[in-house]
Structures are given as structure tokens and as C-alpha cells.
Amino acid sequence: MTNIIAHRGYSENFPENTMLAFKKSLENNADGIELDLHLTKDKKVVICHDGSINRTSNGKGRINDKTLSELKKYKFNRKMKKIDYNVEIPTLVEFMEWFSNFDKFVNIEIKAYKYDYMDLVLRTLDIIDNYNMKDRTIISSFNQKALKFIKKIDPFINVGFLTRKNIKNPGEYCRKNNIDYFHPKYKILDKDSIDNCRRNGIEINAWTVNDIFDIDKLVLEGIHGIITNSVETAVLLNKKTYRKDCKLSLNAS
């Protein structure tokens, strides 16, 4: 059965990357949560997609230019202003304090672009270890150098290679580069790529899949995970397809 992974929490109906969105995703039976990390000026690991808070909050500026206490003054509900509770920026510690109590997994994206990501990686790994979450965590990045650095620090942590570009033989590519999961933009995923990943023992988590026909198609393919904003819809389609497959299997026997 395919895993339904809530993209920035249940971001279709609640402010993205807030504790409210995360809690609502589990209330609606998501199997996992995807989130994004940055470092504050005072070196706290916080959850936010952008390096700037302009798009998602009622404040302005870059996360790495502000302390945690400064960031906590803002509401991260700019696109959903009617929802104004439990919408401050969360830290990874706050998230893990809550999430570690559930039998679910988390996909953490490390933002590793123009700035030094090594400090963020080291602090993130420490937090994961402190909450005994290593076996329920995937760390993903578009930056292959960051993934190699993560594996060098901890060979046993699972990593996922994010890409929006077509890659020939992605399963072979991931296996040779010590990458555990292939995380493609769903539009570039085809049957050959899926088969190549399976032959090489690489699981696929595709993003960001919101259309019901695309969700249904990938569930039928039986990939490991679908990263989606539309949590309830994806959960319902996943269960429907699973029940259909079970009936087909019973009839065949």
C-alpha cells in the first residue's frame, strides 16, 4: 500500500509547515509528513519552506537574519488569515516532541543552496538522535553534495534525492551514489523509471501530487509514497485502490 505523505503538513486546508497543519495531517490519517528546515540567526533549527518569511507570514526578512524569539512574534498564516491559532513558526525540537509519539515517519528536506548547510545538517542529526527517530526519518535534498555529507556523518540515516529533471536509470544512479530513496517531481516519473528503481532496490516518493487522476495512477503503480497537499483525497483514493486490489487477488485465487 502506498504511503500518503503530507506536504508541509495538510497544507491544502491549513497554513503550511505549522504545527496545526502537521496535527491535522495525522488526524486525517496521513502516513508521514514532509517538512523543510532552516537555521535561525541564533542557530535554532526551524521549519519553513522559504529562506524568507515574506510569503508565509505577516513579517518580512530572512530566517538566518532573525533570532528564534524574533520569528516567534509572527503568524505564519499569510494565505489563510482566518486561521490564526497554532500558526507560529515551529522548531524541529517542538515538532519531534510531538511527532515522536506516533508510529509515523517524517521526510525532512534540507535546504542546501547558496549558504553553508553543514551546521544545519549536524544540528538536525543531533535532534533526530535525541528523539530516537533515525529509523522513521528520511532526509532529502536537491543537493547531492549535502546527501553525501549526511551519509558521511551517519551512514545509517536514510536519504532521498530530490529532482525535477529526468534522470536516466534513476534506480541505478541512486544505488551507486548510496542514496536510499528517489524523490522525483511526479511529472517526470514513467514506467521505465519505476521499473529501474525496483530492480535496484530504490523506493520512490513522488512530489507534489494533488490531482485525483495522478494520485490514482501512482497508487496503482504501487510506489512507496505520494507527497501531497490533498491529504484526505489521497488517503481515500489509496484505501479504495487497496481494497480493489485485495478483491482482485481474492478472485484470482
Q: Which of 7, 38, 183, 224 is catalytic?
A: 7
- DSSP one-letter code for 101: T
Cα–Cα distance for residue pair 83/102, rounded to 1 Å? 25
Q: Looking at 12-146, which runs of residues are DSSP E strands?
A: 32-39, 45-47, 105-110, 137-141
Instruction: Report helix angle 118-130 to 92-99, nearest 10.
Output: 30
**Phi-psi category of 164—alpha, beta or left, where left has phi over 0 and alpha has psi -120 to 50?**
alpha
**Phi-psi category of 69—alpha, beta or left, where left has phi over 0 and alpha has psi -120 to 50?**
alpha
Cα–Cα distance for residue pair 49/155, rounded to 1 Å? 26
49 is a catalytic site residue = yes
Q: Which of 38, 49, 183, 224 is catalytic?
A: 49
Dig out the grid coordinates for 56 from the structure.
Answer: 508565509
Cα–Cα distance for residue pair 164/167, rounded to 1 Å? 9
| Helical ranges in 87-155 per DSSP H | 92-99, 118-130, 144-153
224 is a catalytic site residue = no
- 187 Cα distance to chain centroid: 17
Q: Known catalytic residues?
A: 7, 49
